[in-house]
Structures are given as structure tokens and as C-alpha cells.
Amino acid sequence: MIEKMKKLYLLIYHQSKDEFLERLQKIGVVHLDTGDNIQSDAIQDIKNRLSKLDKCKKIVLSNKTKNSKVVQKSRDGGDIEQYLSEIENIENRLGAEKSRLDNIRKEIELLTKWGDFDPDTIRAIEERSGYKLKLFYARDKDYDDIVSGISNDVFVEKIIEEKSKVFFAVFYKNPASLESVRASEEKIPLKSLKRLKKEAARIEESIGVLEKSKSSYAELMDEFDKYRVDLEDSLQYNVVDSSLSPEVEGKALFIRGWVPKRVLKFVEEFLEKEDVAYIVDDPAEGDEIPIKLRNNAFNRLFEPITKMHSMPNYGEMDPTPFFAPFFAAFFGLCLGDAGYGLVLFITVIVAILFGKNKKIRPILYLGFFLSLSTIIAGAVLDSFFGFKITEMTLLPKALKKTAIFTDMNTQMSFAIMLGVIQILFGYFLQTISKIKFGGIKAGLQPLGVFLLITGTVILGVGYGLKGDFSIGPMPVKKIITSIPHGFNVGATLIIAGVALILLFNNIDKKIFVRPFLGLWEMYGIVTGIPGDVLSYIRLFALGLAGGLLGGAFNMIAFMVRDSAPIGINYIGMIAILLAGHIINISLSALSAFVHPLRLILLEFYKAYGFVGGGKAYDPFRKGAA
Amino acid sequence: MGEMNSAFIVAAIGLGLMIGLSGSGSAIGLVISGSSAMGSLKKRPEAFGALLVASILPSTQGIYGFVGYFIYSDLVTPDISMFNASLVLGAGLMLGIVALVSAIYQGKICASSASAIGSGHEVLGQGLVFGALPEFYAILALVASILLKNLAQ
């Protein structure tokens, strides 16, 4: 259901604006038409604070040091902004220390090869003897040639050989004679390895201290979250404040809003007491009316699916209650295994009873219904952990009677039948919706499609198929042929449907143009709907694939039990069963969620004539975030 | 003897293609989607769950191949007839090619949705729906190959 809205014009006296907005935000039911891209210094400031807060929260949460003792500081009454700056400061220092540590480590890596020497000694040598030091490396097979080619006033000392390279030191007086050294120079910092290592250890320690003090802010997380809510509230407030348009030389401020009809009385009572003038009006055509979905507890669980596509617009019905039972049933059919349903069911129940996260409650309740549907579907489709229920010797006969769609062809026909039903249902709803919002004439084309499909099914199944066609316990053909004058009824429906489609498509166009446009519509319908119906095959195929894969794991597990040596045979069997079914259940559950989603959002929405594009009702309130 | 051997070879090639092509397809598709998910993970480490779900879709084609293998493997015996062997080969080609191609391209869709999630767009559900579009043809191929087995004599 889409909640009915009333339009509200507000004229606020400028002197009491702040108090009024404050109280309006507190009652939190009026959706205000604020501009899309409101900018002001105050808004920018709040946005900056928000991003700083989020950054700092990330910094504190990213801390991986475990068992760090919480550093006690007197934190009560402190200013959150102050703490945020402290966190940023710590993070900056950490960054600086880490990059210093990186540099030192690089130097250590370069130096390690050359051994631990004292740079002071080298400097002393250079000063006293006048000889200077440079370091070189070359390929080891070239080394002897290099040494013999070096001029006499240069001394060479081999330091180390490594990976077919020779590293050597060269002492020289005259830079010109260096040219005789035909090798590559290695430029390294002349620093003491020992000192560098000490320095690295010192920085590591200081990083540890900083990380610890960073993690001490984690205890403030609740306050940060509260602060975030405050910031969001004041952001909303400022957006509204900047959207007010001054009237009567700035003495009054105007804004338009929306109120759900259900709470209009309450809002009017509130406004009576305030220093404002207001008018309540009905929405007019062309208004962008905010959409608030209002469904019962079961259907509400499926609203996220509706919102995933787009909010319906005000001029159509909320599709949620219409697809909710289909979605639950389709999920069950796609997973299609009573055992897997049972596993999901137990998991969901445990999570509901012992889970602490309140936010995922709706998902768990949805899971409850989906798992129930899976258990039922598995019983009907004859599958329990990949075994056929009808072939299980332990089960009492009464339980096996639930398996009514056991063979593949029946299951496939059943899936296609569900497709026909849902698509017909979609066109039926489209007819109702078009008539409701656009008059009877608007509803005649979808009605035509509805009749055309019905007629085609009657003729096709009742008189086209040979033999006795039934889906499980449903003697479909018999039911259809039992319609008196069934053939004529079917043919009449088809003719009437085609006529309606040809005459009442594009009702804004002239009637003699429509049959030609209608041909194009007919082409779309004739090529589109069979494809849409066949798309429902996936309901059966996914269940089949999941069941067969589960069966395959069972087979492999029993092969291991029968052929592996005693001792590991049962362990192996259990391991394969556990791992196999866990993989199968998670992948199948994902598919079982996604494919029905597609059937709803594509095939059903097409038949339903879903347009969407509505803007969500987002009242001016506190704690919206 | 010669006839029996060639029939058996034909059937074995069919099984090989069925598993080989579909498995390779899933592997390639998962690499495509997984690498993109890894890139997004750097930007949003907290979105691991969503990224995992978004990038795992191409794994199903390999499973369809495996299911096909299980259905056909009992047909493949040393004395398989040429007719049945051709069915196995046909099923292998049919399932293998569709699974290979759909998994690779599905991987690209998943990669795009993973990178969109990485940039902060909450499009997991939409991405899954788009990913399910090419997968349907792999499902159809599986169904067709299962129905094809009804012809086996």
C-alpha cells in the first residue's frame, strides 16, 4: 500500500522560525520540499565535520593491536571535536613515523650486505690519508679484468660475493683515476648499521605507543555515534533552513511539505499552537509526491526488494504485497530441498533467539518464511539432503505422500504453470491499476493481453496437447476441457483480447491510428510473453541442479565409506557430507534468492506495468540517520 | 571392437567437454570478478560480505557442468552405443560452450558491480539481477541436456 499524502503550505513568522523548526523536527512527520543542491557555509561546515568524524572512526576501528590496555584519560565532559583532532594528530604522527621507519629499513637493507662498519672510522681514514672511499659492484666473471685494469694509485678491496656479483670497495686520491674502474657504483648512506637498527627499534616502539593511545579512543565510539546523529540532525535542520524562501519582505518564510493523511490531524493540532499560517491541500497532477509504503508485518519484509528496483510512483499500486507470496514460494522451489530448508530454519531460529544485532532482524524474519517455504517445496519436490524422499526406507508412508511433483517433466510443467499464473496475475493487476488511476479505457489494453493469454492457454493446453495432460495431481487438461464449449470460449477470448489490444493501445492517439500501432504492440506481446513464461523454467532447473549436486555429494561420500580403509572411511564420509552440503546450500541459497528476484523485477514487473521512480518519504526529523 | 572403441571415445570427449569447458568458464569468470572485488576491498574493507556475494555468481556454471556429468556418467560404459555416445557428446558441447561463455561474461558483470560497490554505491541486489541474466542460458542448457538424456536407448 502507498500511503495517501496531503500537501501542506507553511508560512512561518521569521522571528519564531528557529523554535518552530526545532519543534517541527521533533515531531518528525512532515516531509519538506527542500532544494536538491542546497549549499551554505553552515551546511559545508557540518559536512566537513561529518567526514572528519567518519575518517576518525575508521582510524580508531582500523587498529589491529590486540590486548592493548585501554589508556585511561579523563574523558568526561570533553569536546568530541577535540578528541577528533587528537585522533587525526596521532594518525599523522603515525604516518610520519611509519614512513621514517620505512626509509630506515630500506637503508638497513642496503647496508646489511656491506657489513657493520663505523662511518667515523672511514671519515678518519679519509681525513688522515687523503684517500676517499667509493663502493662498486660487478659481475663476478668480470671482476678479475676490472682489478687488473685499474690504475696503480687506486686500492681495491673485495667485500662480498653474492648471486654471481662481486661487491668491492675502492680507495682513491685522484677522481680522474676512478675512470679506470669499469664497474657500477653503489651509492649507500655511510651510516652505522648498529645505530640504524637502534633507531628503527626506537621508532617501532613509538609506533606501538601511538597505536595503543589510538585504540584507547575506541571506548568513545558510542559517543561518536551519538555525535554523528546530532550532526545529521543539524545538517537536516540547516538544509531546511536554507530552503525557506522569504516572503512579505522577509517577515515570513515559506516552504511546501507533505504529511501522511493518517497523521494530518496530529500535525494540524501541532500547527494550531504555533506561530505559523498553513494551508492543507490535495496533491495536484504533476506534483512530486513522496512515497511511503505501508504494509502488514509479512509484506513489509519484502519492501527492500521493492526499493531495490525503485519506489513506485503515486499513480500506481505498491507491488510489494502482490509479489511477496510469490517470492517466498519461488525461493523455496529454487532451493527445493526439505533438508536444506530445515538447516536454514534452525539457523534462523537460533539467530533470532540469540542474535544481538537488532538491525538484521527483518532479514531473519524474511529468512524464517523463506526457509519454511523451502521445507514445503522440498517435501513437494521429493528431496531431502539430495535424497529422494520417496526412496527413503526409514520414513513412514504418510510423509511420502507430500511428494507430488516427483518426476522432472511434472516439475517443469509446474514451474511453467506458476509462470503463467504470475504473469496473468500481473496483467490482471495492471488492468485494475490502470482503471483505478486512468479510467476504464486505460485498462482495456492490459485486459486484452490477459484475455489473449487465457484464451491461448485454454486452446493450447485443452485442445492442442495430445494425450492426457496433468501436472502432478492436477488434471489440468481435464479441468480445461470440462469448461462448456471450451474451444469456443478460448477462441472468443483470443479474438476479444486481440481486438482490445488493437483498439485501445496508446489511448491518447486517434482511434484509426491505433490498430497500426497495435500491430507493433501485438508483435511485442507475441514474441515477449512466451519467453517470459519459459523464463520460469529456472524455478525447476535450480532446484534440480541443487538436488542433483547434493545427491552427487552423497554418492561420493558413500563411495568413500565403502572403499576407504577402516578408520578413515566414516570420518571421510562425514567430512565430505558436511563440506559438500555446506557449499551446495550456500551457493544454492544465493541462486534461490537472485533468480526469483529477477522473475519479480523483470517478468512480473513487465506484466504489472511497473513504472516506479517515486521519491521516498523522508520527513524532517531527528535521528534520521 | 573398433566400433565400440570409437563410440566410447566420442562419449568420453563429451564428458570431458562438459566438465572441462564449464569448469574453465567458472574459473575464468571468478578470476575476472574476484580481481575486481579485491580492488574494491582495498577501498572498502568493510564491504567484504557484499563483494563476496557479488563476485561468486560465475561459480554456478561449473556446478551445472558437474551436475551434467553426474547425469551422463552412468551412460558411459565400454559398450556404449554410437547413438548414446553422440548424445553425450552433444550434451557436453551444448552445456560446455554455454557455460564457458556465460560464466566469462557473467564474470565481467560481477566485476562491474564489485567495483561499483567499492566506489560506495549500494548496488549488490541490482548487480545480482544483471548477473542472473546471462546465467539463465546456462540453466537452459543444463535443462536441455538433461531432457536430451531421455532420448538415450
What is the residue-wise DSSP string for A54-69? HHHHHHHHT----SPP
Q: How far is CA A100 from the centre of its chain?
A: 39
User: Mutation test of the interface with chain A: which of B143, B147, B148, choosing the one with the most A Cβ atoms within 10 A?
Assistant: B143
Instruction: Name every chain A residue with its beta carbon within 8 A of the beta carbon of B140.
Output: 537, 541
Residues A416 and A401 in one domain: no
A177 with A154: CB under 8 angstroms? yes
One domain, residues A515 and A473? yes
Chain B residue with Cα closest to A537: B140
CA distance A341 to A335: 8
Low-confidence winner among A288-292, A308-312, B89-93 (lowest mean pLDDT): A308-312
Q: Chain B partners of A601 at a C-beta cutoff of 8 Å?
A: 129
Beta carbons of A597 and B128 less than 8 Å apart: yes
Chain B contact present for A602, CB below 8 A: yes
On whether both A275 and A350 belong to a single domain, the answer is no
Q: What's the pLDDT score for residue A378?
A: 92
The reply to whether A510 and A416 lie within a common domain is yes
Cβ of residue A548 closer than 8 Å to a chain B Cβ: yes
Give chain A's domain count: 4
How many angstroms away from the CA of B1 is the closest CA of chain A? 31
Q: Of the candidates A545, A552, A597, which has its C-beta nearest B125's C-beta?
A: A597
pLDDT band at B89 (very low <50, low <70, confident <90, very high): very high
Of B139, B140, B53, B138, the closest CA to residue B100 belongs to B138
Contact of A541 with chain B, judged by CB distance below 8 Å, is answered with: yes
B70 with A541: Cβ contact below 8 A: no
The pLDDT of residue B42 is above 90:
no
| CATH number of residue B31's parent domain | 1.20.120.610
Q: For B85, how many CA atoms within 13 A lie in the half-sphere containing its CB? A: 17
At residue A300, the pLDDT reads: 93
Read off the pLDDT band of A355 (50, 70, 90): confident
Contact A326, A39 (CB under 8 A): no
Query: Which strand (E) or helix (H) includes residue A246?
Result: strand A245-247
Higher pLDDT, A19 or A220: A19
- Predicted pLDDT at A605: 93
Highest mean pLDDT among A280-289, A403-412, A457-466, B103-112: B103-112
Kindly state the percentage of chain A with pLDDT values over 70. Answer: 97
Nearest to A549 among B57, B63, B136 (CB): B63
Q: Is the pLDDT of residue A135 over 90?
A: no
Kindly identify which residue of chain B lies nearest to residue A58, measuring between CA atoms. Answer: B46
Q: How does residue A71 score in pLDDT terms, banded at 50, 70 and 90?
A: very low
Predicted confidence at residue A221, as pLDDT, reads: 80
Contacts of A587 in chain B (CB under 8 A): 56, 59-60, 63
Residue A625: the pLDDT is 57
Helix A486-504, helix A514-534: angle, nearest 10: 120
Chain A residue closest to B125 (CA)?
A308
Maximum average pLDDT range among A55-59, A193-197, A314-318: A314-318
- Mean pLDDT over residues A119-142, rounded? 81
Chain B nearest C-alpha distance from A239 (Å): 23
Confirm whether A199 is domain-assigned: no
A502 within domain boundaries: yes
A40 in any annotated domain: yes
Domain boundary among A534, A553, A569: A534
Q: List chain A residues with CB under 8 Å of B133.
A: 598
Domain containing B131: what range? 2-151
Residue with more model confidence, A195 or A324 = A324
pLDDT (0 to 100) of residue A65 = 53
Q: Which of A537, A549, A594 sits opposite B132 (nearest CB)?
A: A594
Residue A437 maps to a domain: yes
Q: Domain containing A461: what range?
A: 410-534
Tally the domains of chain B: 1
Tell me which residues of chain B have a C-beta less than 8 Å from any C-beta of chain A.
53, 56-57, 59-60, 63-64, 66-67, 70-71, 125-126, 128-129, 131-133, 136, 139-140, 142-143, 146-147
- In this prediction, residue A75 carries a pLDDT of 47
Give mean pLDDT, residues B20-49. 91
- Phi and psi at B121, nearest 5°, equal -90, 130
Is some CB atom of chain B closer than 8 A to the CB atom of A544?
yes
Please identify which residue in the block is written with the cell numbers 526457509: A371
Judgement on whether residues A311 and A274 belong to the same structural domain of the protein:
no
A587 touches chain B (CB under 8 A): yes
Chain B CB contacts of A412 below 8 Å = 143
The mean pLDDT value for B54-71 works out to 88
Q: Which three cell numbers stand for residue A578?
A: 558436511
| CA-based R_g, chain B, Å | 18
Closest partner residue to B128 (CB to CB) among A548, A549, A594 is A594
The helix (run of H) or strand (run of E) holding residue A428 is helix A408-438
Q: In this structure, are residues A551 and A386 in contact, taking their beta carbons and an 8 Å threshold?
A: yes
What pLDDT is recorded for position A77?
A: 46
In this prediction, residue B123 carries a pLDDT of 87
Min Cα separation A184/chain B (Å) = 39
**How far is CA A309 from each of CA A319, A332, A481, B120, B148, rounded to the nearest angstrom?**
11, 22, 40, 18, 37
Q: In angstroms, what CA-CA distances link B80 with B15, B16, B68, B77, B145? A: 13, 16, 18, 5, 18
Q: What is the pLDDT of residues A92-118, one digit of tens each?
A: 999 999 999 998 888 888 787 777 777
The whole-number pLDDT of residue A78 equals: 58
What's the mean pLDDT in A387-395? 83
Q: Are B18 and B91 in contact (CB under 8 A)?
A: yes
A625 or A218, greater pLDDT: A218
Q: Which positions ≥6 away from A311 have C-beta within 8 Å?
A: A291, A293, A612, A613, A614, A615, A616
Reported as a single tens digit per residue, the pLDDT across A3-49 is 999 999 999 888 888 889 989 988 889 999 887 777 888 888 888 98
Q: State mean pLDDT over A178-195.
A: 76
Q: What is the least distance, in Å, from the CA of A477 to any CA of chain B?
A: 23
pLDDT in tens, A597-623: 989 988 999 999 998 888 899 899 887
Identify whether residues A275 and A245 lie together within a single domain.
yes
Interface test with B, best of A305, A413, A535, A590 (most B CBs within 10 A): A590
Nearest CA in chain B to A602: B129
**Could you tell me which chain B residue has the CA closest to the CA of A310?**
B126
Sign of the CA dihedral running A384, A387, A392, A398: positive
Among A304, A590, A595, the residue with its CB nearest the CB of B56 is A590
State whether residue A465 sits within 8 Å of chain B by CB. Answer: no
- In tens, the pLDDT along A521-530 reads 898 888 889 8
pLDDT tops 90 at residue A181 = no
| 8 A C-beta contact, residue B143 and residue B71 | no
User: CA-CA distance, B47 to B51, in Å (whole number)?
Assistant: 6
Give me the pLDDT at residue A64, please: 57
Nearest CA-CA distance, residue B2 and chain A, Å: 32
More confident residue, A66 or B129: B129
Mean pLDDT over A568-587 rounds to: 92
pLDDT of A137-168, one tens digit each?
888 777 777 777 777 777 888 888 878 888 88
Looking at residue A414, its pLDDT comes to 92
Residue from the list B63, B129, B143 with its beta carbon closest to the beta carbon of A537: B143
- pLDDT band of A318, cuts 50, 70, 90: very high
Mean pLDDT of the residues in chain A: 87
> Quick one: pLDDT band at residue B13, thresholds 50, 70, 90?
very high
- Give the CA distances from residue B53 to residues B24, B58, B59, in Å, rounded to whole numbers and listed in that order: 20, 11, 11
Q: Nearest 5 degrees, angle CA B55-CA B59-CA B65?
A: 160
Q: CA nearest A587 in B: which residue?
A: B60
Highest mean pLDDT among A150-159, A424-433, B77-86: A424-433
Q: Decide if B67 and A552 are in contact by the 8 Å CB cutoff.
A: yes
Of the pLDDT bands very low, low, confident and very high (cuts 50, 70, 90), residue B95 is very high
Whole-complex ipTM: 0.72
Segment among A247-256, A440-449, A571-580 with least mean pLDDT: A247-256
Select the more confidently predicted residue: A119 or B145: B145
pLDDT per position as a tens digit, A546-558: 888 898 899 899 9
Residues A467 and A490 in one domain: yes
Banded model confidence at residue B4, pLDDT cuts 50, 70, 90? low
The nearest alpha carbon in chain A to B127 belongs to A594
pLDDT for A488-523, tens place per residue?
A: 999 999 999 999 999 998 888 888 889 898 898 898
